[in-house]
């Protein structure tokens, strides 16, 4: 039995929490993974996984063995990189990346040919979705996330700050007036953005000096898509808070007008996530560096002033 291969198979099954998903990401038949795990458990003389029709769970022995496998596999990767010669540090191979839908379409994909030209031996598999993807279960190498990170199971490196603006169409402002203070918002309608997970509309946050002021807005339209929010604002249906990069062309053309310049919405951190215990491979390092430089060149994305 190839112990390293068996460990890799076991780790992937645990991360994916599914034999079928693990088989897909490893490009192997499900039966091969089942056979490998059975041989591993027989060799160790202990059960590693509790298997039911609905879920997998680690036994106490399996949890301990999993922790050792992560450390061992990372050490093996590090050792191999030190002895495989100069080509070992050359970015190559498949890199699976998850991007938020609008950010991916507007900020990243239009420039992806530049990455390919710089690193032609890296094959990118891009998934664009606003669904909160589980990196380990779906075999994703890294994901770009916007907002405060919650899950400590991942390592996050901040690569930028997304700036937002409060804006409306000239027609809406002509009918309802232009707000000059946060108190003025009480007489205005907002195009609400709601969580697809909870169905709850997000409050609007503003910077007032160094303080963050939260305002509960209301309005006749609620959407769960950033582009839809901009489209509603262009039709004069209310004030909207949108990422600057999304509305820059409309602000420049006058189709939308920025308001409350003294109280900008709070920016959101943009972070690149990787699963804990994964080695920072050359291909991942190349993409992270390229993405950071790409965002630095975006006029409506501020880079962080401190390291994360």
Q: Are residues 216 and 286 in the same domain?
A: no
CATH number of the domain residue 67 falls in = 1.10.10.10
pLDDT digits (tens, 9 = 90+) for 5-64: 999 899 888 877 788 888 887 888 989 999 999 999 999 999 999 877 667 888 999 989
CATH number of the domain residue 215 falls in = 3.40.190.10
Q: Residue 307: is its pLDDT beyond 50?
A: no
Residue 112 lies in a domain: yes
pLDDT digits (tens, 9 = 90+) for 86-118: 665 688 888 989 999 999 999 999 999 999 999
pLDDT band for position 258 (cuts 50, 70, 90): very high
Q: Are residues 244 and 179 in the same domain?
A: yes
Average pLDDT over residues 213-225: 92
pLDDT digits (tens, 9 = 90+) for 127-174: 998 887 777 767 788 999 988 776 656 778 888 889 999 999 999 999
Q: Are residues 105 and 144 in the same domain?
A: yes
Residue 65 lies in a domain: yes
- pLDDT for position 17: 79
- pLDDT for position 151: 60
Residue 205 lies in a domain: yes
Distances (CA, A) of 92 to 122, 144, 174, 272, 282: 4, 20, 56, 19, 8
Is the CA virtual torsion 197, 198, 204, 206 positive or negative? negative
Q: Are residues 175 and 254 in the same domain?
A: yes
Boundary of a domain, candidates 48, 82, 116: 82
Paired strand residues for 268: 162
Q: Are residues 33 and 170 in the same domain?
A: no
Host domain of residue 37: 3-82
pLDDT band for position 306 (cuts 50, 70, 90): very low
Q: Are residues 148 and 115 in the same domain?
A: yes
pTM: 0.71
Average pLDDT over residues 211-216: 93
- pLDDT for position 26: 81
Q: Are residues 170 and 150 in the same domain?
A: no
Give 200 or 111, the one with higher predicted confidence: 111
Total domain count for the chain? 3
Q: Are residues 242 and 209 in the same domain?
A: yes
Q: Are residues 280 and 296 in the same domain?
A: yes
Residue 285 lies in a domain: yes
pLDDT band for position 279 (cuts 50, 70, 90): low
pLDDT digits (tens, 9 = 90+) for 65-90: 988 888 888 788 777 766 666 665 68
- pLDDT for position 303: 63
Query: Which residue in this structure is represented by tokens 């709601």?
Result: 194
Distances (CA, A) of 237 to 172, 215, 240, 256: 7, 19, 9, 12
Name the E strands within 191-247. 192-193, 204-208, 211-215, 222-223, 240-243
- pLDDT for position 215: 94
């Amino acid at each position: 039995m190839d112990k390293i291969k068996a460990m890799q198979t076991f780790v992937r099954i645990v991360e994916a929490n599914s034999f079928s998903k693990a088989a897909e990401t490893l490009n192997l038949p499900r039966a091969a993974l089942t056979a490998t795990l059975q041989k591993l458990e027989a060799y160790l003389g202990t059960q590693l996984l509790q298997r039911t029709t609905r879920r997998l769970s680690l036994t106490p022995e399996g949890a301990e063995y999993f922790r050792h496998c992560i450390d061992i596999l990372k050490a093996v990767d590090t050792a191999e990189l030190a002895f495989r010669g100069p080509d070992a540090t050359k970015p190559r191979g498949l890199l699976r990346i998850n991007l938020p839908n609008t950010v991916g379409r507007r900020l990243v994909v239009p420039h992806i040919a530049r990455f390919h030209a710089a690193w032609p031996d890296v094959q990118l598999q891009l998934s664009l979705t606003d669904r909160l993807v589980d990196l380990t279960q779906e075999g994703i190498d890294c994901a770009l996330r916007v907002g405060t990170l919650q899950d400590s199971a991942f390592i996050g490196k901040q690569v930028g700050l997304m700036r937002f603006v409060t804006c409306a169409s000239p027609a809406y402002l002509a009918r309802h007036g232009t707000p000059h203070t946060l108190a003025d918002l009480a007489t205005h309608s907002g195009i609400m953005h709601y969580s697809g997970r909870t169905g709850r509309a997000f409050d609007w946050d503003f910077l007032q000096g160094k303080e963050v002021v939260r305002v509960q807005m209301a309005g006749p339209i609620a959407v769960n898509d950033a582009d839809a929010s901009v489209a509603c604002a262009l039709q004069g249906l209310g004030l909207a808070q949108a990422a600057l990069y999304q509305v820059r062309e409309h602000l420049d053309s006058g189709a939308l007008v920025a308001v409350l310049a003294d109280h900008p919405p709070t920016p959101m951190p943009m972070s690149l996530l990787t699963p804990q215990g994964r080695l920072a491979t050359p291909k991942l390092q190349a993409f992270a560096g390229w993405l950071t430089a790409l965002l630095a060149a975006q006029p409506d994305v501020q880079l962080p002033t401190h390291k994360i």
